[in-house]
């Protein structure tokens, strides 16, 4: 008899949280009119997260530079008021100017939500 020494794999589609939490996030995203797309990046996207790892979100909006910050604040507040109790760090796509950081995000990002 062979005994497996493999560690059970983590669910690939929930990034360390329940599907209910993912559904909560997508409901929040849908209620922010200027949101177009939301990607997950960082440790949660790579799968090397810890229990208390934050959710790094990259967003694409229809906002101008003048209206971008209120949208980020609105999204942050809406997530904070929801049942999603994990820490969230939100970046807007046009704010990513460091080429090394941009390359890491491009490598790791996973589309979480897209406006139909």
67: left (phi over 0), alpha (psi -120 to 50) or beta: alpha
Distance of CA 114 to the CA centre of its chain: 12
Per-residue pLDDT tens over the stretch 36-73: 999 999 999 999 999 899 999 999 999 988 888 999 99
Give the contacts of 90 (CB within 8 A, at least 6 positions apart).
57, 59, 72, 75, 76
Per-residue pLDDT tens over the stretch 74-86: 999 999 999 998 9
Distance in angstroms (rounded) separating the CA atoms of residues 96 and 27: 25
**Rg of the chain's alpha carbons, rounded to an integer?**
16
What is the average per-residue pLDDT within 13-33? 91
């Amino acid at each position: 008899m062979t005994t497996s020494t493999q560690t059970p794999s983590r669910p690939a589609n929930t990034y360390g949280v329940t599907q209910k939490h993912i559904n909560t996030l997508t409901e929040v995203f849908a209620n922010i009119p200027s949101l177009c797309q939301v990607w997950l990046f960082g440790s949660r996207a790579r799968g090397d997260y810890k229990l208390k790892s934050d959710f790094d979100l990259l967003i694409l909006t229809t906002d101008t530079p003048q209206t971008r910050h209120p949208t980020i604040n609105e999204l942050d507040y809406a997530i904070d008021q929801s049942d999603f109790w994990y820490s969230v760090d939100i970046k807007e796509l046009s704010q990513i100017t460091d080429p090394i950081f941009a390359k890491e995000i491009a490598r790791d990002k996973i589309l979480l939500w897209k406006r139909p």
